[in-house]
Amino acid sequence: MANVASNHELVIRPTRGWSHLDLAEIWRYRDLLYLLVHRELVVKYKQTILGPAWFVLQPLLMTVVFAVIFGNVAKIPTDGLPPMLFYSGGLLGWNFFAQTFQGTSSTLVANASLFGKVYFPRLVVPLSAVISSLLAFAIQLLTFLSLFAYFKIFTSTSSSFGLSRDIVLLAPLLVQIAALSLGVGLWLAALTAKYRDFTHLSSLFIQLWLYATPVIYPLSQIPARWRWVVLVNPMTAPVETMRHMFLGQGGATMSQSAFAVVTTLILLLSGVLVFTKVERTFVDRA
């Protein structure tokens, strides 16, 4: 039988909008996603003395600093909660957001050499930042639960806090925070690809955002006429909701939560569109 030659044509097209956003392709590169997550976790604390212990020590030290400065020195009320639990509960959601944002916002610039060598869906890199931050969140959650158990068993403040039934909504809340950090991070990644000034501004941006979020102060302490400034922050509702889940204090109204969800969706969808548009030509300009 004669051999029949067949010609195969491989066409690589740049992604254009949602019609070319191939989620199945991202799934096919799940092994690469695993490698990037592993790289993120290993490289982050490589050549440090304490190594992975920093996953526990960093949020714990932040909690202690906040308790001393804002609790003991500034005397900011914590709605009757032990200061260590109040700040630790606020940092749970915030650290997950901040770590994902920082990993996502540097996607294009930090991986320019990799993008120029081989093709793969560029969204795999920011998704790896989400997963590595989620693993860090799990470790920090165990640290928080240890503090929770200590104050519940060994102190006289045990009656002032407790787990809420809303804790069953933790998974959807984490998805919301991940989506928000991914959306904002993709926006900044796209802007940084064109204007490198944003590389230096991202750290300042996230620090200012922290103080605009009720992490170091309860929402109840904000004067009514200024409360809207905090409520337009899409991280306010998630932080308040998570604190309510684990401590039974604080919380966001349905309208506040709905506003945060809508804002998150807008930022995520627009962030993905802008990112996929910029990454098509980034390697040529890098």
pLDDT in tens, 104-113: 998 888 787 7
Q: Looking at residues 154-177, what average pLDDT do you find?
A: 94
Neighbouring C-alpha atoms within 13 Å toward the C-beta of 172: 9
Measuring CA to CA, how many Å separate 268 from each of 94, 131, 170, 216? 18, 16, 20, 26
Q: At what angle do helices 83-105 and 236-247 cross, to 10 degrees?
A: 140
Q: Looking at residues 139-156, what average pLDDT do you find?
A: 94
pTM for the whole structure: 0.89
Q: How far apart are CA 146 and CA 22, in angstroms?
A: 42
Predicted confidence band at 12 (pLDDT cuts at 50, 70, 90)? Answer: low
Q: At what angle do helices 254-285 and 236-247 cross, to 10 degrees?
A: 120
Give the number of other Cβ atoms within 10 Å of residue 269's Cβ. Answer: 13
Q: What is the mean pLDDT of the chain?
A: 88
pLDDT tens-place string over residues 66-83: 999 999 999 999 999 999
- Given this model, what pLDDT does residue 265 score? 98
Residue bearing the bigger pLDDT, 9 or 145 = 145
Domain ranges of the chain: 50-285
